[in-house]
Amino acid sequence: MAKNDLKLLGGWFSPFALRVQIALNLKGVEYEVIEETLNPKSDLLLKSNPVHKKIPVLLHADKAICESAIIVEYIDEVWSNAPSILPQNAYDRANARFWVAYTDEKWFTSLKSVLVADDDEAKKPHYEQAEEVLERLEEVLSKGSEGKAFFGGDRIGFIDIGFGSFLSWMRVIEEMNGRKLLDETKHPSLVKWAETFAADPAVNGLLPETDKLIEFAKVLKLKLAAK
């Protein structure tokens, strides 16, 4: 498929757009990335996602697919000749969807809340939630992977993409607050997994640089605090 048939409206800073890029890379599909600054939002974005007006949006032959997890599933179904992203077994697929939804609800919310919180006391409950997420995912990885490199087994799968897309933002939160989230003593499996995930050919070179993302985060924090 030609690049001009497949376009991603994304942003280098977006973990959700990153999910789509990783999925497309895993499938070996050519695509074009259209960088959105969101300031202001482009007419193409507003036209392609009139409901939520946000990235990412995948344009496949000019048809728009929105919401990162849905887009990843769409990619998996359309390019079915390549290795699967979601498990083949119905129960395992449902389980993978559960943990990605859990990551979006709990992990993303925790990181965002820590970013905008004014002081340590305000950050405390959000750190506690983040630590709970890491404990649960450490257990899921340790038990579910059966000693293999990824949540999805020998290859990157749906949970890997869902959680791994936040690795750079986790490092930003760690650097800005001087506090580790991912700890070798508490989360040995996740620490090893994170290194393997970042080095995978489908991911390598895509994760944003921490320093660059910190500068973006400082601006974002001011915008979120003003709302």
Q: What is the model's pLDDT at position 204?
A: 97
pLDDT digits (tens, 9 = 90+) for 61-117: 989 999 999 999 999 999 999 899 999 999 999 999 999 999 999 999 999 999 999
Confidence of residue 194 (pLDDT cuts 50, 70, 90): very high
Confidence of residue 3 (pLDDT cuts 50, 70, 90): low
Confidence of residue 154 (pLDDT cuts 50, 70, 90): very high
What's the predicted TM-score (pTM) here? 0.95
Q: What is the model's pLDDT at position 144?
A: 78
Q: Cβ(181)–Cβ(123) under 8 Å? A: no
Q: What is the model's pLDDT at position 152?
A: 82
